[in-house]
Structure 1
Amino acid sequence: MYLSFILVTWISGTVCGSTIETTMLLEIIERQNTMMTSMELRMNKQSLEIGSLKSEVESLQDKIESHESLLRKFEANTVDGGKDFTGKLRPRFLMEERQDAVAFYAYLSKTENDPGHRHIIAFDQVPVGNAYISHNGEFVAPSAGIYVFSVSIACDWEGRIPIEIVVNSNVVGSTVSDSKPARHVAVASETVIVSMEQNDRCFIRTTPDAHREIILNVYSSSYARSSFAGWKISN
């Protein structure tokens, strides 16, 4: 009788345990199915987004190719002449015309001591430009046109440097750098616009007026450059 009770109890426990394990397995399988379904939905959504992005990239590539084609046509018309998008004739910009551009920049590499009156300042360093002759300080116009000239003169301590911008024999501009009131380097600038014929000359000189005395030196260093520049703006 006792053994029969134990056997029935063991069989009941085994059946009950199997039922619980089966239920747990079914729940796990159901959760995994749910997760897989969710992952498939996300993957489908990502596939759609990737397809949309590919379409946008292809559209952008088409636009870029179209813009590059228009740019090449525009550059060809600009360099070689032709018509613009309205059908009007556009001017020709040839390389030969660009090479004819006239401009220069020159400066003194060091201070020029006591230049005196009616002295042409020869700016010996010409890092940019053409038509300026550094050894005599003259710019010779290679062609007729309208030119801009700009000069900047630094004066040493307690000095006064009056200068003139001269075209041929005509004074077209003047200024004075004056450091006498204070012990420091003074800088003065002047800019003019003039009409010149081919081979006309432009230069910077100290004033010839004796009563406007020149004292000390035309200063130039990395601290303050005395310089002269010019460029052609039209024919």
Structure 2
Amino acid sequence: MFAFRFFVVVFLSIVGILATPSNNRDDLQDKELAEIKEMVKLQSELIQSQAEMLNKYDQRIGEKQSRTRRVADMDNNTAVGFYSRLVSPHPLQLGQHQAIEFDQIITNVGNGYDSRRGHFTAPVAGLYSFTSTVLLASSNNHNMHISIVKNGVIVGLMFSVTEYDKGTRTVVLSLAVGDMVWVRNNGNELPNIHGVGYSTFSGFLITPYSQ
């Protein structure tokens, strides 16, 4: 606003000078007139620069608002989470590297968990959290070594050695669409684990990755 007012004042001054009769105009020094013209030029360039800067700011704000809306829409439409329990058989004796099929599904938003195989398959790419708790029913000289695996690679371990002892593990994983996570017997031991809801497996999407 100050630059605009200054421009107007200088412009009117020049108009007044140019409208002055030639005999009076000679009283004005050429240097002063040149300085005024230079100031007008500089102010005009400043105004143009500020206008371009404001346009860039407007574009950036628009882009940020658009990204914010996309993320909000994604968050509202991509809820993923499951919670399942091992109910039967009870007790369950695990074979070597056997996947635990937590058969009772309590929650399965996004339909990522398959109780027939005990696998969770990521329906969307994102950052996920998974937790499993397994209760050892009886040792029978078999320790319990349980692992959480991603695509067959161990990412978390649980261990129990005494009856009614439990192992719990939480992992946070970055998953692409189609990546799988499940819980399995990790070693050659053949432990008996509790069913009837004492052993559980759950997970949820923390945040999706933007497309």
Q: TM-score, normalised by structure 2?
A: 0.59
Does residue 116 (structure 1) correspond to residue 89 (structure 2)? The answer is no
Q: Unmatched 5+ residue regions in structure 1?
A: 1-87
Counterpart residue type for residue 171 of structure 1: I
Does residue 140 (structure 1) correspond to residue 116 (structure 2)? The answer is no
SS of residue paired to 2:76 = helix
* Identity among equivalent pairs (%): 30
Which has the larger share of strand?
A: 2
- 1:97 Cα deviation from its structure 2 partner: 4.2
Preserved CA contact (<8 Å) 1:153 1:188: yes
Q: Return the alpha-carbon distance in structure 2 between the equivalents of residues 133 and 120 of structure 1.
A: 12
Residue in 1 that maps onto 2:106:
127
> Which structure ranks higher in relative contact order (CA pairs < 8 Å, sequence separation ≥ 6)?
2
Residue in 1 that maps onto 2:45:
none
2:183 to 187, 204, 218: 204
SS of residue paired to 1:156 = strand
Counterpart residue type for residue 166 of structure 1: V
Preserved CA contact (<8 Å) 1:162 1:214: no
The list of structure 1 runs, each at least 4 consecutive aligned residues, that deviate by more than 6 angstroms after superposition, is none
Q: Return the alpha-carbon distance in structure 2 between the equivalents of residues 228 and 202 of structure 1.
A: 10
Preserved CA contact (<8 Å) 1:164 1:205: yes
Q: Return the alpha-carbon distance in structure 2 between the equivalents of residues 152 and 177 of structure 1.
A: 11
SS of residue paired to 1:143 = coil
Preserved CA contact (<8 Å) 1:153 1:177: no
Residue in 2 that maps onto 1:155:
136
Counterpart residue type for residue 193 of structure 1: V
Does residue 218 (structure 1) correspond to residue 188 (structure 2)? The answer is no
Q: How well do the aligned residues superpose, as a CA RMSD in angstroms?
A: 2.1
- 1:89 Cα deviation from its structure 2 partner: 5.3
Does residue 104 (structure 1) correspond to residue 86 (structure 2)? The answer is no
Q: Return the alpha-carbon distance in structure 1 between the equivalents of residues 185 and 138 of structure 2.
A: 17
Q: Return the alpha-carbon distance in structure 2 between the equivalents of residues 158 and 112 of structure 1.
A: 12
Pairs within 5 Å for 1:162-201: 162-179=145-162, 184-201=163-180
- 1:114 Cα deviation from its structure 2 partner: 1.4
Q: Return the alpha-carbon distance in structure 1 between the equivalents of residues 65 and 174 of structure 2.
A: 30
Residue in 2 that maps onto 1:231:
204
Change (3 A) 1:145 1:89: closer
Q: Return the alpha-carbon distance in structure 2 between the equivalents of residues 115 and 214 of structure 1.
A: 5
Q: Return the alpha-carbon distance in structure 1 between the equivalents of residues 123 and 97 of structure 2.
A: 25
Counterpart residue type for residue 220 of structure 1: G
Preserved CA contact (<8 Å) 1:162 1:174: yes
Counterpart residue type for residue 133 of structure 2: S
Which range is displaced more, 142-151 or 158-167? 158-167
